[in-house]
Amino acid sequence: MKDKTSFIPQEGEARPSRCPDNSAFKQQKLPAWKPQLTIETVLSSFFLTGAFCLSVGVCLILSANSVREIQIDYSDKCSDCSKLRENSSNWNKECHCSVNFTLKEGILGDVFMYYGLQNFYQNHRRYVISRSDAQLLGRNVNIQKSYCAPFTTYRNGTPMAPCGAIANSMFNDTIDLFYNLNSSVIQVPLLKTGNSWWTDKNVKFRNPKSYNLSSAFAGTARPPYWQKPVYLLDEEDERNNGYVNDDFIIWMRVSAFPTFRNLYRRVSRMRQFADGLPAGNYTFHISYNFPVTKFKGRKHVILSTVVWSGGSNPFLGIAYVVSGTAATLAGFVITAIHLKLRKKKTYFQK
């Protein structure tokens, strides 16, 4: 074993240097670009940024204003059904209502149907985390250890599938659209698949593996507010059932604001609707299941088109215009200050 004193330099010996090597990299002498902040470069940056933001903002606002949209509030028109649904003991009773409206001009192109909710807060912390991502991936997990409480199991111990407050409060009104042509009534064909994000449909949500879906969910029960089990959400299309149901996937992506809309259906462009929705009289037939009176909410149906910038939402365009205006005004203020100081400097030099 070496003596520790052997590492102590003796008198007259040179101590080892702790300075970094004398290289360009370690001495931070590598060539680099150092901008020279002259008045010309600063002002040009402000004015170019302002011009860019203003032009993009104007384009976005014009694009958003070109979207054709019609919004219909059916909260009051279906008031009888709303009163029926407020009593939880009537959960198994069906209630239907109709809402008539007229399109003075046709809506051409791809038409999207949304349902809108007002005063429905999905941003509460307890609500947002009330789900089990492992369960939604089709894994066999103990949901008692998840954040789904109190929507985890029933009193007899039967687990809920899916669990959590988000799934339990899923929007479950059924909305059909009919076109009144002369004396005939034509149902508008609506597409209920292909509406969710690809990543959600193929990555974040999976059904449990089994030879059929009903056996995959054996031993589980539907959430309390649901009228049917998860494997019967779409009785017409087996591929749109369980956790990969489009309506369920879209609902599970919570909104940050109390007033929001979710994509519900797309108009299938076929027969009379190959070019979109023609002008005329229409009727919404609604199977009312989702009560909103207790939290003073409202419900809407929205028919809308989309453009290259998205739907009818001018917020991004307004944000660009405000940013561009602020940058341009800052450029003018800096210009005025520069001219004022330059005049003072010229006066004192004389």
pLDDT per residue as tens digits for the range 25-83: 888 888 888 778 888 888 999 999 999 999 999 999 999 988 899 999 999 889 888 88
Bridge partners for 114 per DSSP: 263, 302
152 phi and psi angles, rounded to 5 deg: -110, -60
SS3 208: coil
- Copy the structure tokens of residue 308: 């290259």
Task: Specify the DSSP element, H or E, that contains 326.
Answer: helix 315-349
% of the chain at pLDDT higher than 70: 93
- Copy the structure tokens of residue 45: 């940056």
pTM, full prediction? 0.80
Domain boundaries, the chain: 49-67+314-334, 70-305
Task: Specify the DSSP element, H or E, that contains 175.
Answer: strand 174-181
| 4 pLDDT more than 70 | no
